[in-house]
Structure 1
Amino acid sequence: MASLLTNLLTGLTPPPHVNLVEYDGVQYKWGVFVFRPALFQHELYLLAGVLVYVLFVTVGVSRNKFNAQLPVLEKQFSKPLGKTGLTRDGYSDYFNFSTGRRNVTSLHTVFTLQPRHDLFQWVYQFVRTLIDLHFRPTDDVTLDFVLAPTTLNQDFVWAVVKKDELLSIKDDRWDLTFTKTSESPALPPTLSVMSEFADVTDNLLKPAIVAALSDPKVLPYFRSLSVTDQPRYRPEAPLAATSRKKHVILSLSLPSGDAEVTANLVSVIFPFIDSLPSVNLRPETRTKLKKTREELDKSLKADAEREKKEELEQAAEDKKAAKRRAEEERIAKLPAAEQQKILEKERKRQVRKTQGKGVVRK
């Protein structure tokens, strides 16, 4: 055993370094120390790679900084930042929570920046842009305004969306599946309206918001603006009255240069929110919207009950299977004669069961 361990350690031990006596390259001496660069060519490449990676991370982290939205929030909210300021998740995702404004319960701001600090993820995204023509990584910000209960007394889903986003927005936003897509002559041709009814669009598409969305400086960075009474993702069951909230959600791409461009659009959203209490839909529109939500609650309730029933049936099946396995294990421990008696008894029971099913009543 000792010899085997010795042979194993000998095989794992690297060979000793052979210091060549004949060396005619550049070398540096300091006391008893001698440094010969020609003997460290591979280490030099490794060090250069590490330095490039560190430089990439340093530059990427320094570029993923921003504060253009903060002055707007400071003007509109009494508490524009959370207790600890921006919450950071790594070097590309930032979150903020603002409170203290009329008609708004809270504002959740989410910054999703490009992974400039991660060389490998950056290379992956670059290669993907060459393969997937619809994939365009950008710096994005989403402002989710949770409206005060008295701000909007109507239930509907409405949005203005950049046409480039139409291919994917319904996959990310379940609430927008309620809407129909249409064009509006008041908006630029690159934008579409998603609304449940035209009456909703007539109430919301006011000159101020149309002018802001039509600004040539803002248009390249605008992604979507929505007003919704439904959650972003489909709920598993009907929401309780206390859980129902209305949102105004603004999604933008952050410009790499003049960030004040998007800040100007953000500032326009606040008077837009202040105008929501004046929304007054036609009675027939309100009736249709109410009916749609009643049918939705019935569908969600039915789906929840069906899923619960399936879970109970699955639990019963699992219980039967566990009981059957326990019985098989118990029988396997019995003597062969006892096992034979039990098997014979089970065979007769199955025969009687089969014969009972074969009887035809006249």
Structure 2
Amino acid sequence: MTLQVGIIGTGMIGQDHIRRLTQVLSGVRVVAVTDINLERAQAAAPQGATVYETPQELIRAAEVQAVVICSWGPAHEEQLLDCIAVGKPVFCEKPLVTSAEAALRVMEAETAFGLRLVQVGFMRRFDADYRRLKAVIDGGTLGAPLMYKSVHRNASVPEGLYTSDMPLNDTLVHDADISRWLLRDEIAGVEVRVPRRSSRGGELRDPVMVLLHMTSGAIVDVEISVNIAYGYDIRGEVSCETGIAALPNRPATVITDQFGIRQAIPEDWRERFIEAYDQEFREWIVAAGQGTATGPSTWDGYAATLVADAALRAVASQHLETVEMVSKPDLYNQ
């Protein structure tokens, strides 16, 4: 069976997913696309795919069996609710939504439907290195996890398009989600500290340091630097009771010659996580073909939204800000 997919949003990430679904993966076909810029949608549409004027038309189209949302964050709530209303599995790039209230509305609709339909695009969970790190933690050979260090460095960000709040409401969500997943824990509180600013970022609040206080008492230390210049550098190290475990640097090849010992650095997120993106869609295609969703859920998107909100409050207050969650619906415990 070939899963017939519609793509909402044909910007950079949307185009990359179209490439992935048409040139890399099997068992799937892109049959429809739409974008707020119809000319861009027409240019990105694979041969034979229908270009729809609105997301609502695409979602309701009979040939579309599942939906991939790559539009801008404020549009996600309406599109997710439309997908749930017609019972179509949906892959939604982060953020799930842009407010806790919106996340609760999506969660209410999905729980009322009675089946998981939404998967959120937290691709790090599908990265082989992170999965091996999680296996070490879950195996218990190092004892309980006490601290986790998460480093998220970008070479640069688009000037004028990346605001001072974005390290906390856009970038941090990946570190928050992977910390919850690795440690099997929820985030109870958030602290933010802003050190000396990098001259490369102008007025941008960069870098930032975030402390995530987990309900178990473990602490996650997150460093976010978005103008580090040298490349895209993602690191992670967990300190446990009897040892530590860390992600390897990628790519792993180390060169030794007359210039010294060195290792290449990925240029951006696409290079570092290309295999993780492929794997998350492989698993989504299988689940969506069965009319459901696995992987990061609406609950996980809700949690990330709450953490981002708390981080924005914390940067202003310079105090620990608590994260208050509703009771977790049984649907997300399955």
Q: TM-score, normalised by structure 2?
A: 0.25
More strand by share: 2
Query: Which of the pair has more CA radius of gyration?
Result: 1
